Structure formats: C-alpha cells, structure tokens
Amino acid sequence: MGIVRPNASAEVWSYSVLFYDKKNAIPELLQREEIVPVEVEGVKANATPEFLALLDEPPLEPRVTFIAPLDQFMWDRKLIAHLFGFDYTWEIYMPEAKRRWGYYVLPVLFGDALVARVEFWCRDGVLEIRRWHFEPGDPGPKFFAELERTLREFMGYCSATQVVVGDDIDPRVRDLARSVPLT
C-alpha cells in the first residue's frame, strides 16, 4: 500500500525488519530518512519518500486488479479496513459453515477503491466464478470494460479456455464473464 503503521503487526514489518527489533529499527529508519512519518485520515504511519513522490504524479487510469489474499497490499488488514472501509478475513482455514465470503476470496481493486470480492476455481482449463460480492456503492461504467480485460488476462494466467459462472452471480458479472472472448 506504500504506508505502514508503526504499531502494525509483526508480519507487516518482518519483510525487511525483524519484528523483535522493530522498536529500534523505526527510529533508525526515520533518522536515515528511509521512511518519514505521515498521517492518513487520522492514522499515524510511515512511508518511504519514493512512495510519497508518486502521489505528485497524475493519477493512472483506473483498472481492475484481483488482489491475492497474501499480497503485501493486504498485510495490514486494520489499515485496509480504516482507509478503504473493507473488512477482510482470509477464510481458507475457517470451517465452511462459518465462511461469509468463501474459501479463497480475492479482493477486487478498481482504481483506488476495493469494490468487490471474488472466489475463483480453476481446473482442467475451466475457470469458475464461484462467488462474487460487490461492496456497497456503484463502481461506475468503466468498471465492466476493465473487468473484462482483467478477466481475460486472468484466464491466460490460469491457462483457462472456458469460463463457468453460476446463475446466482450478479447478472452484470455473469453475462460479461460468459461473453469474454478467448484470446
């Protein structure tokens, strides 16, 4: 995400800083100006100067991205919930009866908003959309064109040549997925 809370869990910091030395590492990184303090919507955090420089760039055209549950973007779930209003639990180890969203659900990022959740299953060249949940709000008219592009790319990634979508999936997503041209 580009920012990290000083009190984020050890896993968030462990990529380059050993969690047990975090209290010493943060002041040192601040002193060397490798990170700088920031406040985002009332949350104190740190960011690299390189990341902050990107904020001065013109915004990119919004695109749809399926975010893997273990992607670094999702590591600080409390910050994700605060900034995006997106409460995410990876339910892979949860008993099926207790799952709200699904076994291996991917957050769907469109531009700068988490707009949906999707559960895929791919076997033998068939990509199945098992679940789709939109977050509150309308993602806008450009969303579906971008979803088609991303779905086509995802099919290539999965070596899928066919898409299967249940009738219980949102009809806009279902119809789009069923009509995706294979490339």
Q: Answer yes or no: is pLDDT of 25 > 90.
A: no
Per-residue pLDDT at 141 = 82
- Tell me the sheet residues that pair with 155: none
pTM for this model (two decimals): 0.87
Report CA Rg, the chain.
19
Q: Answer yes or no: is pLDDT of 26 > 90.
A: no
Per-residue pLDDT at 73 = 87
Per-residue pLDDT at 104 = 93
Per-residue pLDDT at 8 = 76
CA 129 to chain centre: 17
pLDDT digits (tens, 9 = 90+) for 44-80: 999 999 999 998 999 889 999 999 998 888 988 889 9
Long-range Cβ pairs for the range 167-174 (8 Å, 24+): 169/129, 169/131, 169/132, 170/132, 170/134, 172/144, 173/129, 173/132, 173/147, 174/129
**Of 113, 114, 150, the residue nearest 129 (C-alpha):** 150
Q: Answer yes or no: is pLDDT of 10 > 70.
A: no
- Tell me the sheet residues that pair with 111: none
**Of 108, 112, 85, the residue nearest 2 (C-alpha):** 112
Q: Answer yes or no: is pLDDT of 11 > 80.
A: no
Q: Answer yes or no: is pLDDT of 19 > 70.
A: no
Per-residue pLDDT at 6 = 78
pLDDT digits (tens, 9 = 90+) for 103-159: 999 999 999 999 999 999 999 999 999 999 999 999 988 999 999 999 999 999 999
